Amino acid sequence: MNSQLTQVVVITGASSGIGETTARLLASKGAKIVAVARRKARLEQLVNEINSAGGQAIALEADVTSFDQMQQVASKAKDHFGRLDVWVNNAGVMPLSPVEMNRHDEWMWMVDVNIKGVLNGVAAAQPLMRAQGSGHFVNISSVAGHIVFPGAAVYCATKFAVRALSEGIRMESDGSIRVTNISPGAIKTELAEHIGVDEVKQAVKAFTDIAIEPQAIADAILFALAQPADVDVNEMIVRPAKQAL
């Protein structure tokens, strides 16, 4: 397996956590990075650091909930680097709460970012991948896409959906587009900051105490991308050794 990369890689949610760490790692291995997020200043800092270190990256401020903006990202990636090989659907939100609290706006936010955001990325990138005869989607789900937790029903539903979409896209691709679904466990990211219910936030703290670094997920993505073209790593669960669920 050759861990040196030549792909053009779009990464959503690239301004922090898993997205930022993945951008740095893949750039260090030769990938050309299109870093996408809403926080322009943080993106530009990331891209400047990658380019100063000898990598190749551009920053695109965009919102995954907008299909038009995702189309523009795909178009700009191709215009700048000549092609689009990999799309990492990493952007996500996690405002957990019991269903009975009826925090409807938070539910819709999760659906818009965690499900529609993935669909927008797929819809924007897939035509370019089809035209060039190859491509790779890396979708970030969660252990919450395998097990349902109290207080996390809607979030879990969105992550189960990401797994279903990943498998469906894989089956429909006839081998020309690879799909990797990665389900992180407790990772040190900003996700827990979205939780507005104190009791739930305290319950999640037990997981944050054992959380591992985003580097573990970046390494998993690198492993999937570095496989030969006829090998598709479809699913990985990556979590702390101490995490029981």
The residues annotated with a catalytic role in the active site are 155
Distance (Å, rounded) from C-alpha 60 to C-alpha 39? Answer: 10
Angle between the N-to-C axes of helices 67-81 and 117-132, in degrees from 0 to 180, rounded to the nearest 10 = 40
DSSP 8-state code for residue 212: B
Among residues 124, 130, 137, the alpha carbon closest in space to that of 65 is found at 124
Distance (Å, rounded) from C-alpha 155 to C-alpha 174? Answer: 30
DSSP string for residues in 84-104: --EEEE---------GGG--H
Residue 126's contacts (CB-CB under 8 Å, 6 or more residues apart) are: 135, 169, 177
Q: How far is CA 135 from CA 127, 128, 173, 214, 232, in A?
A: 10, 8, 10, 24, 11
Q: For residues 210 and 182, is the Cβ–Cβ distance under 8 A?
A: no
Q: For residues 196 and 25, is the Cβ–Cβ distance under 8 A?
A: no
User: Phi/psi of residue 138, each to 5°?
Assistant: -115, 115
